[in-house]
Amino acid sequence: MSLNLVMLGPPGAGKGTQADRLAAARGIPKISTGDMLREAVKAGTEIGLRAKVVMDRGELVSDEVIIGVVRERLDKADARHGFILDGFPRTVAQARALDKLMDGRDPLVVVDIIVPEADLVERLTSRLVCEDCGTNAEGVLRSAIATTRCVRCGGRLKQRSDDNEAVVIERLKVYRRDTQPLVDYYRSRPTFRAVNGAQAMDRVYADLAEAVDSAASGGALGGAVR
């Protein structure tokens, strides 16, 4: 049975970091719409420039664009035996589209990472990312930005343009309005789980891996936070 996993949670919940780790452990690709859009922005494509204007305001790119990006990605050979989606779906409309894309595949496992909003604001306004590959710089202080390089590619670190406090608050507002209803959409499924993301990263990963295994094997824990 392949693992087809959707990672839910607000900006700053740690979805990307945990998805990277789980994907490496399970030998399946992590598919991040955020990474794909940032690559388009860096390349200066038409869709990238349109997306940059929207993302810099803390808003979400249209469903039509995102669904098309994901459809093409899931059709690639490396995703046929499983994948982890980070950043998609963000809306119920996207979730319905994903259900259609899952025809002929094993069921989706859905995990919601829960973190209090005050913690999210602190995380996002203080984080640094690589300007080349977009990787988060875990544990790097802002004062060390000039001397520290990305652990993945050696690129320079910077603060994302959408990680200032005003935009962060707007992004969380947009999340609550548009993305939180996904939890209600998925909650009744036997493959849905919730994980406490306000813990040390290793503890979150251990809980995530256990929740994924339970859901994939048809366990009956439902939406209980692990």
* 196-to-125, 134, 174 alpha-carbon distances in Å: 21, 25, 21
- Angle (CA) 37 118 87, round 5°: 20
Rg of the chain over all Cα atoms, to the nearest angstrom: 17
Catalytic pick among 127, 149, 189, 203:
127
Catalytic pick among 26, 90, 123, 193:
90
Tokens of 19: 């998805």
CB-CB contact of 110 with 6 (8 Å): yes
Active site residue 127: yes
Amino acid at 179: T
The DSSP code for 77 is G
For residues 189 and 109, give the distance between their C-alpha atoms in angstroms, rounded to a whole number: 9
CB-CB contact of 90 with 180 (8 Å): no
For residues 153 and 14, give the distance between their C-alpha atoms in angstroms, rounded to a whole number: 20
Catalytic pick among 30, 38, 123, 160:
160
3-state secondary structure of 19: helix
Active site residue 160: yes
Q: Euclidean distance between the first and final Cα of the chain, in Å?
A: 24
Catalytic pick among 15, 26, 38, 73:
15
Q: Which residues are catalytic?
A: 15, 90, 127, 160, 171
